[in-house]
Structure 1
């Protein structure tokens, strides 16, 4: 699997996906303070700018360790980060990674998360030599299930008590998208 060198900027029709920096902490806090946004992420809503800075620090650490990469989602012509999308738990030997995403509630239902998901998936298959992209989604997160399914992900099964977050064990559906099944057009 190819190591990410430098930080790639991805561009779609409406979006610029770029590196998140400490200067973006206010933007992250603005949308990650919402229970509606964080309820299926295994995170408590953010309360302080330090919570956002910790998240940005995590983005940097997975990049440095080559275990992931997270892009900030911005609308073209605007600097404000309105969400993020990227890979984590990359397994180079197996050419696979998990994908995750979240978006400010102000932008739900506009196709933005799907546009980012497609761009990041395409980057993973074409530039990182991924064969398989996985998405782990809580059973109650119907909108993320529908979004991934619209983009070709297949539900493979239920991982029972897979994660312990926010004081409880969570079941997660395992979804996958294989390179040969991805629509590059």
Structure 2
């Protein structure tokens, strides 16, 4: 495992700063994690209180400390408000792979922000963590999210039947993957 995982990596793109989410960001996190439309395909219920955001931020910190994942807060360069996040989770160091996800405040949808952020973390994962496989599971009705990963070169591998249990029912999810060799073509 790379020692580059010890300090939280801050990433910069043309429009974005991807940084650690701090307790001071709880109200920004709550803003989008309490939105029913944003959470529709996320696999968890919308937050009801800001306290849930504080607890979630603590979980993000623990996951990073345990080297199981990294969650970056997405901010626009001109403002330090966290408008979403992109993340590696369930990192498998033995097999050089990670699950990847993202979520964005709906006020910032359809601007290419998710794609720009995800592209940056993929590059970071390849160059600094030696990740060979990135995978993402996406709710079949979530066509905009499918388009984000497809534009980045992810391939749909198949349907994971009854993969998640949410809101009293089992949901199917598409599995998408991107390999290091796909990026280097």
Q: TM-score range by the shorter chain?
A: over 0.9
The answer to whether residue 2 in structure 2 is matched with residue 2 in structure 1 is yes
Query: For residue 35 of structure 1, what is the aligned residue in structure 2?
Result: 36
> Superposed, which structure 2 residues align to 1:1-185 within 5 Å?
1-3=1-3, 4-182=5-183
Return the alpha-carbon distance in structure 1 between the equivalents of residues 43 and 55 of structure 2. Answer: 15
3-state SS of the aligned residue for 1:51?
Answer: helix
3-state SS of the aligned residue for 1:74?
Answer: strand
3-state SS of the aligned residue for 2:122?
Answer: helix
Residues 17-61 of structure 1: CA deviation (Å, up to 9, x unaligned): 000011000000111111111111111111111111122122112
Q: TM-score, normalised by structure 1?
A: 0.96
Q: Which aligned runs of 4 or more in structure 1 are off by greater than 2 angstroms?
A: 165-168
Return the alpha-carbon distance in structure 1 between the equivalents of residues 177 and 18 of structure 2. Answer: 22
Return the alpha-carbon distance in structure 1 between the equivalents of residues 58 and 171 of structure 2. Answer: 25
Unaligned residue ranges in structure 1 (runs of 5+): none
Residues 88-117 of structure 1: CA deviation (Å, up to 9, x unaligned): 000000000000000000000000000001
Return the alpha-carbon distance in structure 1 between the equivalents of residues 121 and 169 of structure 2. Answer: 30
3-state SS of the aligned residue for 1:82?
Answer: strand
Return the alpha-carbon distance in structure 2 between the equivalents of residues 177 and 94 of structure 1. Answer: 14
Unaligned residue ranges in structure 2 (runs of 5+): none
